[in-house]
Amino acid sequence: RFHGEGYQEGYAEGSHTGMAEGRRYGALQGARIGSEIGCYLGFALTWHCLFQKCTDEKNSKKIRALDSLIGMIHKFPYGDPTYDMLQEDLEKIRGKFKQVCSMLNIQSDFRMSTERSSLTF
C-alpha cells in the first residue's frame, strides 16, 4: 500500500514539475528564435532601404535576395509552435541570411547568450 501511494504522489509531483519546466524551456527557446529572426528581419530591411536608390544589375540581385529573405521571414509561422516544418523553415531562413551576407561581402556571426544576443559584422 505504501509503495502504491508513494508512486502515485511521486508521479503527480513529477508531472507537475515537468510541465512547469517544459513551459519555461519552451518560452526560452521561443524567445531565442524570435530574437534571431528579428535580427535577420532588421538586417534585411535596413540593407533593402540602402539599396533602393541603386538600380544597377549587381545591386538588383542583392535586392532580390533581400526580398526573398524578407518574404521567408514574413511567412514564418510565429504563432504555431506545433508547425511540423518549423525547424526546416528556420534552417532555410538561416541559409538565405548567410547567402545574403555573402553577396554583401559581410561576415555574419549570430551568437545567442544568456546575457544578450548580438549580430556582429
Whether 114 shows a pLDDT value over 70: the answer reads no
* Tens digits of residue pLDDT in 68-112: 999 999 999 878 878 889 889 999 999 999 999 999 888 877 554
What DSSP string runs through 5-70? HHHHHHHHHHHHHHHHHHHHHHHHHHHHHHHHHHHHHHHHHHHHHHHTT--SHHHHHHHHHHHHHH
**pTM of the model as a whole:** 0.74
